[in-house]
Amino acid sequence: MSGVDTLLAETDAPSTTVHERLDVRDLPPPEPLQLTLETLADLDDDAVVVQVNDRVPQHLFPQLDDRGFGYEVIDDGDPVVTAIWRV
């Protein structure tokens, strides 16, 4: 997944070596949302979750806003990469 690392470098996500990768491309809705939120519940302060999806996770964004997370999406097709971090 070196392409994901390249895409992640294009975001404003904090530069850290701690990345939790979630490849949710094969999961049916609402599992990608649920898995991502469960992972974020245990996220260390200096970690970044990288969600790899086949679409922009529109339903995730309000949840991230409500919980105070920063995020950025790189949508160059498949995969769509969303970096998520604590603000």
Reported as a single tens digit per residue, the pLDDT across 11-41 is 888 776 668 899 999 999 999 999 999 999 9
Average pLDDT value over all residues in the chain: 89
Q: Who has greater pLDDT, 16 or 85?
A: 85
Residue of 4 and 87 predicted with greater confidence: 87
Measured between alpha carbons, how far is residue 70 from residues 9, 26, 63, 66 in Å? 15, 25, 11, 11
Taking alpha carbons only, the member of 69, 66, 64 closest to residue 85 is 69
Percentage with pLDDT > 70 across the chain: 91
User: Does the structure show a pLDDT above 50 at 84?
Assistant: yes
Q: Is the pTM of this model over 0.85?
A: yes
* Cα(62)–Cα(6) distance, integer angstroms: 26
